Amino acid sequence: MKWSYQIARVRGIEIKGHVTFALILALGAFQWGTPHGTPGALFGMALMILLFACVVLHELGHSLVAQHFGLTVREIVLLPIGGVARMEKNPEKPIHELLIAAAGPLVNVALAVVFFFVGGVAVNLGVLDGQGLVNGKLSTPSWGTLLVWLFAANVTLALFNLIPAFPMDGGRVLRAALAMKLGFSRATQVAAAVGQFIAMALGLFGVLSGNFLLALVALFVFMAAGQERAEEVARTVLTTLRVGDAYNKYALSLAPGDHVSKVIDFILTSYQPDFAVVQGTKLLGVVTRDDVLKTLATNLDDLYVAGVMKREVLAVDANQGLDDVRRQLGEKGERVAAVYEGERYLGLVSQEDIAEALLVSSFVQLRDKRRLAAEQAG
């Protein structure tokens, strides 16, 4: 993720903090520093760091279980709204998804138990003021305040994440449990519908009670559930199509001795945004519309395309599923890949080509279903 910087590495998993994470530290310093000065500001920052350390452990719970099942976890990114573990692909077996999803909240439950007993032991040893904790004196920076906040935060994280709605872990647990009986696609539709119903209920409660933050969270959950359903529909359709069915077989191409002016002519007279630079049957690189525009912004000379093209291009096999290629493009942050049949270069496939194939295939499937339903009704 852009604007993220590595702060640690665990079992090959990069743990990164997004630059916006600094806002949380500033908020903690402001909230505790306003009434308690510099010691309060330092306490607030330390509290935020420890709270997000619990978030990291939550995400590591997911990640380590995923690694156990052979899945690759690229990174964990800390954002102001929490943490995100980025896996290369979703688990294929429902039981694996269930265990991976449940691992995060279970880590928070374990941490809550630890902080609860550490606080109890500290009171018994006289390190903490037990009477102060009972009376709720938690507005002053102290070890007791720290332990209570960490205990409450982990309980909240566990309970919130177990809500059976995407993108929370509870939504994935629900889908995994349903998938054991209904299959992954149907389970996603049911789990997404349940999540959207819960989101509407929370949103209505938030509006009626004047809790607009809750209403905003409900809106986010509703949209995330819809996105999960759409993603599963796309995955189901695209897994039935090969890259060889979607790449542009009649694309215009360039030679290394061509000039940028030729690319401009192609851009103005065609809808094609990406151009392969080939020598014979060998792909040398790719020139995109963005490459040309960036070049023109800094250099008005009519350069050779060999000096503008991108030489490192993601290579995919013509027999690969489109969903697999879409995932690879997303992971690499690319929008175009080179299609090969063995060692023979065939052409380019872009994210736009995949989206177009999805749209057409979805329309054809819907038309066939309606036609079949009409025939059965007749």
Tens digit of each residue's pLDDT (9 = 90 or more) over 278-300? 988 889 999 888 888 888 777 77
Tens digit of each residue's pLDDT (9 = 90 or more) over 213-259? 788 888 888 888 888 878 777 777 777 788 888 888 888 889 888 88
Residue count of the chain, please give it. 378
Rounded to an integer, what is the distance from CA 244 to the centroid of its chain? 28
CA distance 84 to 78: 7
Predicted confidence band at 136 (pLDDT cuts at 50, 70, 90)? very low
Burial 252-290 (b: 16+ CB within 10 A, else e): bebeeebebebbeebbeeeebbbbbbbeeeebbbbbbee
Residue 301: the pLDDT is: 76
Strand partners, 370: none
Name the residue ranges covered by the structural domains of the chain: 4-238, 243-360
CA distance 40 to 203: 35
CA distance 288 to 311: 12
For the domain spanning 243-360, the CATH number is 3.10.580.10
Predicted confidence band at 111 (pLDDT cuts at 50, 70, 90)? very high
Contact 138, 35 (CB under 8 A): no
Tens digit of each residue's pLDDT (9 = 90 or more) over 28-46? 888 878 888 888 889 888 8
Strand partners, 14: 9, 75
Chain mean pLDDT for the chain = 82
Q: Fill in the DSSP letter of residue 135.
A: T
CA angle 109, 78, 336 (to 5 degrees): 125
